[in-house]
Structure formats: structure tokens, C-alpha cells
Structure 1
Amino acid sequence: MHPRLLKTFLAVARSRNITRAAEVVHLAQSSVSAQILALEAELGAALFTRAKSGLELTPAGLALKPIAEDLLRLDGEARAAVQAAAGSTSGHLTIGALETIASARLAPWLPGFQAGHSDITVRMKVAGSGALLRQLEDGDIDVAFCFDRRDFAKGASDKHFARRTIAAEPLVLV
């Protein structure tokens, strides 16, 4: 299974729609459909069924989803490890942050990071904490800077992510 097919599969699984998935993976709708058909042919099982609310995962698709997520994570880790061992770093980093954190904390830091890592393309996405955590879970962003959410600590996603408190700010009522 090629990582490209798994990435497309996960985009369709998350959006439950071929057109929206095509936008996420930057492909034509017909290419997404062809990739899903190729993956289904390779695996010998249907991965999606059509429903009124969109595409739904079949039992085979449900079985594949967590494995595909793990395989893509391992693929990224393997590439990073090889680049680090070779003494080179390059790639893309998509940062998600709350608007206040992006402007007050990250804006002064990013130029220095970019100067020291000119071979890494940095993209910034600004959203609310809940949306950032969903984007992180969906793989749309690589890191999220947001306020601590106690409900996130109880979620199943927490086992997949490392969390670090990097700053604490006092809240004052005036």
C-alpha cells in the first residue's frame, strides 16, 4: 500500500465526501475516486458505502483506518530519522494556533526559526482550540498552540499526542 493511497483514504474517511477529500489532498475528484478504487482492488474489499449523510466506512474500512494512521505516522518518523541521520532537514511544517497566540507569541519567533531552517516551509493556520485539535487529529496541521482543554485530556486522541505546557498567563478581571 502506497502512502499516497492511504493519505487519500484517510481524507475520504474524515470528510465522508470525495469532493472535499480531493480539496484536502490537492487532487482532482476523479483521481481520488481512482485511488480509492485502486486501494480497494489491492485489498480485495470495499472500504466505503454510500449513505444519505455521505460516505461511510465499511467494516473493512473501519479496520484499515487506525492502521493507515499508524503507517503514515511511521512513514513520517522514518523520513525524519533518515534526514536527521544524514544531517539534513527539509520539508513542511504546518502550525495551528489561536489568533492571539499566533500574533503575540509566534510572530516574533517565526522569522528566527525560518532563518535557521530555510529548508523548511512553514505554514500557519489560525482557528479556535476545538478546531485546532480536530485539525491535528485529522493530520491537517503538525502542531497546535492553544489553551489547555481539560475535555481534550479525557479524549481518545490524547494517546496519540504529546502535550506540553509552554507558558502560563494570568487571567485578570478588571
Structure 2
Amino acid sequence: MSTLPRIPCRALRPGERLQDFVAFDFETATYQQMPCSLGITHVVHGQIRSSFSQLIQPPENRFDEALTRIHGIRPEHTKDALEWPALWHILAPYFESHLPLVAHNAPFDLGVLTKACLHYELTPPSLDLVYCTYKTTKIRLAKWIAHLNLREEDHHEAAFDSKVCALLALEYQRDPSLGGLI
């Protein structure tokens, strides 16, 4: 496997406007960061247009039990799911749309994306602009979920986390103090 390309990510700045973007979140099956689920939330004109998640069969459908305890995804959930190469053709447009990407702890999620592509000898996308909501706010996603009075049990479901990340980015643009959370 070749070395991982460095994909820069940055924080949103107060007053910066990001009205159209794609928020994404990976859940991983192994400590080698092979994905087992991807959530994508598409934001247009500052409004969530769509949100979905896709199960992904990791290589050999192998899971590390400690990670399964975090997100609840097991081999029986992904045994009939497509592997990354088959899904990449469907999912790549979200990453190659030239819309800014947003993730909470973006270096982790970008690493998962890149490692999955390289593992299957696919070319990782050339990304223009990636924002990290954790780097922006220093707020843990669980704290933001609690602040929004959302179900904490839904944390680590990829679509839910990508949507919560999108909401955090949108709210930060409206109020960089996030109501005193930062």
C-alpha cells in the first residue's frame, strides 16, 4: 500500500459562510480503519437537503469487537453489503463534486476514505476544501447531541452523525459562540 496523501483540513472562521456542502461520517470495522458504514448529509443554501447512510462490507467482513461495541455494527449486518469498490462508484460524486466537505474530526474520516481507496487500489479523490467541526469548535459530538436534546443512542450511526455535524457547522456560522458552549 502506498503512503497516505496529506489532505489539509481547516476550521471555519467566524463570519465565514458555507451554505452548500457535504457533511460525512465513517464508522470503522477495524483498527486499520476499514469502513463499515458511511453517512452523508447534503446541505444546499444552508438547509439540509438529504441525509443517508450506507453499510459497507469491510475486507473479509472482519470486525474488531471493541469498535462493534461503539457503533453496534456486526458482521451479520454487512454480510450482504457491497464492498468499497462497488460503492465508490456510487459515492464518489459526493466527494468529487467540488463542494466543500465537512466532518467532525475530519483527519480521521479523511484517513478512512483514503485508506479504503488505497486498500482496493482505487485513486483517492482530490479534495479541494475540507472543514473540521471539531477543529472549529472543540466540542465533542456527544456534547453537541446532548445540547440539541437528541437521542444519544443514535450517536455513531453514520447518517445521524453526519447530520449532527452539518447542524454544528450551520449553527457555528449563525453564532460562533454556540450559545456559550465554546
Shared fold (TM-score, shorter chain, > 0.5): no
Taking structure 1 as the reference length, the TM-score comes to: 0.26
Taking structure 2 as the reference length, the TM-score comes to: 0.25
* Greater radius of gyration (CA): 1
Greater RCO, 1 or 2 (C-alpha within 8 Å, sep 6+): 2
| Structure ranking higher in helix proportion | 1
